Structure 1
Amino acid sequence: MKKRTSIMLALGLTVGSVLPITAAANTIPYNVTVTKDASQFGKDAKVTWKKGQTVPSFVHGKLSTKAYKDQASIKQFLKENKQLYQLDTDKDLTLLDVQTDELGSKHYNFIQSVQGIPVDGAKFKVHTDKNGIITAINGDVFPAASSYFKGNLKAQLSKEQALTKAWESIHLSKTDTLTNAEAGPTGSKFEDTVEKAELVVYKKANDFYLAYKINLQFIQPYGANWVVYVDAVNGNVLDSYNAVADGATTGSGYGVLGDYKTLNTYYSNGTYYLYDVTKPMSGVIETRTAQSRSVLPGNYSVDADNKFNAVSQGADVDANYYAGKVYDYYKNTFNRNSFDNNGATIRSTVHYSRNYNNAFWNGSQMVYGDGDGVTFIPLSGALDVVAHELTHAVTERTAGLDYVDQSGALNESISDTFGVFLDKGDYLVGEDVYTPNKSGDALRSLSNPPLYGQPDNMNNYVYTTSDNGGVHTNSGIPNKAAYLTMSSLGMSVAEKIYYRALTVYLNPQSNFSDARASLLAAAADLYGTGSTQYNAVASAWNQVGVQ
């Protein structure tokens, strides 16, 4: 979309019954990621080894000639090939679910556990085609975890004590983050600060810890979705990061750019609400206003005559309208019902704080600032921004990409990529709301990442501890691969490949090599190994230096 200038502006494998398979003799060095052919996996199988791990993170190809059509046979397959992943199938792997997709493929989703406690990020997937032939196995498992602990695992801290430690580590209390919630048109209320605590086995460097994984989500005094790992034995904070997915991003009335829009509203007690209840089998799409305060969720965006025409209502209009457009895109293109695929309410708050040059998904809802009029105008005024933020929610509920380092950069890139899929016409991000007085400017470019300070090849990867390991910088590399894929295959083909990779293959700790393997697996599922589409994906990632 052309910007208008206005101040208003990631196994064993069998052929026949079982192939002889040997595990890797040594750990792959941390500074090397290897993708290679390996004859022991069968002809044409592709194997990706992740840095520092003793087991492959992704194996793809025709991995069996025998059909495996249920949980019992899949587990038997893994037992027969135990030496590669070095796991006890009965003790170490817990089946979470089995999903069948539109191609008839089945996806067996496991998590590694130790004494019944999940290993954080250790998702493990076995994929079969419609005939039961195993076509891919991927994920991150850590064999050393099973023998690391002596005796029974038992937490010495309660969840309440671990939560206290987590709050102390970010120098806030829950009370500091509470704001007043307002009843909506249906009389509902919800709390704006969320605490979650789960007991996990956490891997840090080469050690494993029994830990509580804490999530602290709040908006006051700043937008946050803290992930804090607290040692469940001694209370030490092992790691923490703020996983708020932020970035320059983006209602009947006029939007931020003065364009007229038809809105789905809700009438109650003489007042019209930006509260869309028309989506089938879904929750509502609602918009609230923080009224230039740092509060969540704020008051409902309302109007007396159902005409949201005031200039001050433009951000409200766009937030609600574009959220509906993003919902419709995911539903009509992929049959996905809201970000959780279960009809979750989509909630936005606009007019957050004063002169706030940002927007973010905080784990519960979207939040948009109005900008300062120089760097940004109201950020909800761009479809690709709204799509970016809502795609963070889709990623959270599917691949669950950790918001640090390469997985975090992938998280950002996926959001940028789907923003472009929705806002077709260019490969820019945020151009409608960024630097209103500077024509042709944007926040990021998929076609030319260096134009806005991002690398477009692994030779220029930025190693940094800031910005959660450079998630907003290094996203330029997968962004360029996405551009090359789109320009070669077209949007409709590319979006199918990317959605399947996101929802079927990617995992919390996937790196760039895992992303390449996931996209190739998705292309093979949809169009066949060695197809034009498959080769285009491979070429795109080759060009950005990712193997």
Structure 2
Amino acid sequence: MKKKTSLVLAIGLTMGSVLPITAAANAIPYNVTVQKESKQFGKEAKVNWKKGQAVPSFVQGKLSTKAHKNKDQIMQFLKENKELYQLDTDKDLTLLDVETDELGSTHYNFVQSVQGIPVDGAKFKVHTDKDGIVTTVNGDVFPEASSYFKGKLKVQVAKEAALDQAWKSIHVTKAETETNAEASPDGKKFEDTVEKAELVVYKKENNFYLAYKTSLQFIQPYPANWVVYVDAVNGNVVDSYNAVNDAGSGVGVLGDTKTLNTYYSGGTYYLYDTTKPMAGVIETRTAVNRTVLPGNYSVDPDNNFIATSQRADVDAHYYAGVVYDYYKNTFNRNSFDGNGATLRSTVHYGRNYNNAFWNGSQMVYGDGDGTTFTSLSGSLDVIAHELTHAVTERTAGLEYQYQSGALNESISDTFGVFLDKADYLIGEDVYTPNKAGDALRSLSNPTLYGQPEHMSKYVNTTSDNGGVHTNSGIPNKAAYLTISKLGTSVAEKIYYRALTVYLSPKSNFSDARASLLAAAADLYGTGSTQYNAVASAWTQVGVN
């Protein structure tokens, strides 16, 4: 279990010029990361460079010769190696927390800021082993952000006005998204629509903006988890995308009998599980073929949920418990947020709805049209896929665009396979119920379903948030090669550690390779069979 100490403070050091190899980063082609030996730390250390970034995103190796066992010593380490990152960390870096994990490794987690305002996605991490030796420094920081702005940052647009502009930009009013939510057995009300806004510095191409990062989550008139960046100076929309994590997969109700944890109140049994060692509960609701969330409770008078209309409810409830148990028993993770959050599912969403998705707050399942899909809540790998999106959101925070978004999708597919070990297919149980043998995606052979399995076939597109459901085939193939070589029990440990310790919001495929190698090194040692298997898998898909 991780021991976590929360800190909010700035560390005081100044870093000067960058390494001589910095110039090489600007020549890197789009979507490519190169790895070079570090002149700062010697031949054994490797440095990943992304195109357009002045500093490396991943440095790995034996980076110190003496122990660094507290924040002051980490500060001293950074001072001694100030030429690596071009940051005045007294002003630019804030230490958020320090975590010590079950291996004895310690992780110092920072966020870059400009005049105290966080830079969106700019997470920075320093990792030490159990002896205090610095082994990895990773994340995406942008030293040019501080000098980009002249003078003190001044907010000219109120938070409420920014939210209004965000709503206008998506051509939906808040009123149009609101429905009448009912209370749960404990009397709490649920919000249908969630709106949030935080002030950030946002990088788009070569420009930086003082902006509100707004989040608009709703279920009607369509499922959405919009992220809209609104300029805090002039009110213009800088960027936006819909981050609903859409599996595009479905499951059928297979007729098997399951034991359920229910809740009895007032002569009625609810699909409301309070038996897990968590702060929240596992609850299942039905939209009754409407588009209202969270919907009505799934109930039964005699605790036998055997009606045909209840089968989707049973599977959603049961499989949510399976996924909870997997994360708790395998990684000691208490629900998707690690703190016992309620797992809420709504089934029978809409009519003939061919989809399932995590909307940022809960799971939602359609019944399918009977041809393309049957009831989508019946598939363990689909439910594992969607709830892993929630875990990713609370850990690495992989942005749902381009390579980081494709990694987000791939991580969910991979954990779907970890839980549903029968094969390397996703959604095969519910996809085209009248046709046997097909699926939505395959980790072992992504090309069967129109996905690339090598970087030479990478698809550059602006659709689907930059091809997140297409290019995920590349890391999926790497996951298959890793699992088939090492087995699930080893691979899942490596993937979970990479997800929760090393990956960060803007990680690309090369960062994923480096993160998985760092995790394998922590668990099994650099140069171990496990380490080499991970390296080989990613080399085979063209990610070096």
- List, as ranges, runs of 4+ consecutive aligned residues in structure 1 with deviation greater than 4 Å: 20-23
- Does the 8 Å CA contact 1:293/1:353 hold for their aligned counterparts? yes
The C-alpha deviation readout for 1:118-138, integer Å capped at 9, x for no partner, is 000000000000111000000
AA matched with 1:221: P
The C-alpha deviation readout for 1:360-400, integer Å capped at 9, x for no partner, is 00100000000000000011000000000000000000000
Determine the C-alpha separation between the residues in 2 that align with 1:293 and 1:188. 22
Task: Indicate which of 520, 538, 541 corresponds to 2:538.
Answer: 541
- Does the 8 Å CA contact 2:25/2:50 hold for their aligned counterparts? no
> Secondary structure in 1 aligned to 2:83?
helix
Task: Indicate which of 485, 490, 495 corresponds to 1:493.
Answer: 490
| Residue 248 (structure 1) shift | 3.1
Determine the C-alpha separation between the residues in 2 that align with 1:168 and 1:76. 48
Determine the C-alpha separation between the residues in 1 that align with 2:184 and 2:249. 26
- Does the 8 Å CA contact 1:198/1:214 hold for their aligned counterparts? yes
- 2:322 is matched with 325
| Residue 524 (structure 1) shift | 0.4
Determine the C-alpha separation between the residues in 2 that align with 1:75 and 1:86. 15
- 1:120 is matched with 120
- 1:5 is matched with none
Determine the C-alpha separation between the residues in 2 that align with 1:23 and 1:84. 10
Task: Indicate which of 348, 373, 377 corresponds to 2:345.
Answer: 348
- 2:10 is matched with none
| Residue 39 (structure 1) shift | 4.0
AA matched with 2:78: L
- Does the 8 Å CA contact 2:249/2:440 hold for their aligned counterparts? no
AA matched with 1:257: L
| Residue 75 (structure 1) shift | 1.4
1:415 equivalent in alignment to 2:412: yes
AA matched with 1:38: S
1:479 equivalent in alignment to 2:476: yes
> Secondary structure in 2 aligned to 1:260?
coil
- 1:202 is matched with 202
Determine the C-alpha separation between the residues in 1 that align with 2:285 and 2:407. 30
1:298-337 map, 5 Å: 298-337=295-334
| Residue 176 (structure 1) shift | 0.7
* Counterparts in 2 of 1:395 and 1:502: CA distance versus 1, 3 Å: same
1:386 equivalent in alignment to 2:383: yes
- 2:176 is matched with 176
Determine the C-alpha separation between the residues in 1 that align with 2:51 and 2:41. 20
- 1:447 is matched with 444
- Does the 8 Å CA contact 2:47/2:58 hold for their aligned counterparts? yes
Task: Return the TM-score normalized by structure 2.
Answer: 0.95
Determine the C-alpha separation between the residues in 2 that align with 1:93 and 1:538. 32
- 2:142 is matched with 142
Determine the C-alpha separation between the residues in 1 that align with 2:374 and 2:214. 35
- 1:90 is matched with 90
- Does the 8 Å CA contact 1:63/1:136 hold for their aligned counterparts? yes
| Residue 23 (structure 1) shift | 5.7
Determine the C-alpha separation between the residues in 1 that align with 2:526 and 2:324. 32
AA matched with 1:146: S
Identity of aligned residues (%): 81
| Number of aligned positions between the proteins | 524
- 1:376 is matched with 373
- Does the 8 Å CA contact 2:40/2:84 hold for their aligned counterparts? no
| Residue 54 (structure 1) shift | 1.2
- 1:8 is matched with none
Task: Return the TM-score normalized by structure 1.
Answer: 0.94
- Does the 8 Å CA contact 2:269/2:301 hold for their aligned counterparts? yes
RMSD of the TM alignment (CA)? 1.1
> Secondary structure in 2 aligned to 1:40?
coil
- Does the 8 Å CA contact 1:112/1:141 hold for their aligned counterparts? yes
* Counterparts in 2 of 1:27 and 1:37: CA distance versus 1, 3 Å: closer
1:25 equivalent in alignment to 2:23: yes
> Secondary structure in 2 aligned to 1:54?
coil
Residue ranges of structure 1 left out of the alignment (5+ in a row): 1-19
- Does the 8 Å CA contact 2:181/2:293 hold for their aligned counterparts? yes
Task: Indicate which of 250, 256, 265 corresponds to 1:259.
Answer: 256
- 2:78 is matched with 78
Determine the C-alpha separation between the residues in 2 that align with 1:521 and 1:362. 31
> Secondary structure in 2 aligned to 1:447?
coil
> Secondary structure in 2 aligned to 1:45?
strand
- Does the 8 Å CA contact 1:108/1:127 hold for their aligned counterparts? yes
1:230 equivalent in alignment to 2:233: no
> Secondary structure in 2 aligned to 1:519?
helix
- 1:4 is matched with none
AA matched with 1:97: D
The C-alpha deviation readout for 1:84-104, integer Å capped at 9, x for no partner, is 210012110000100000000
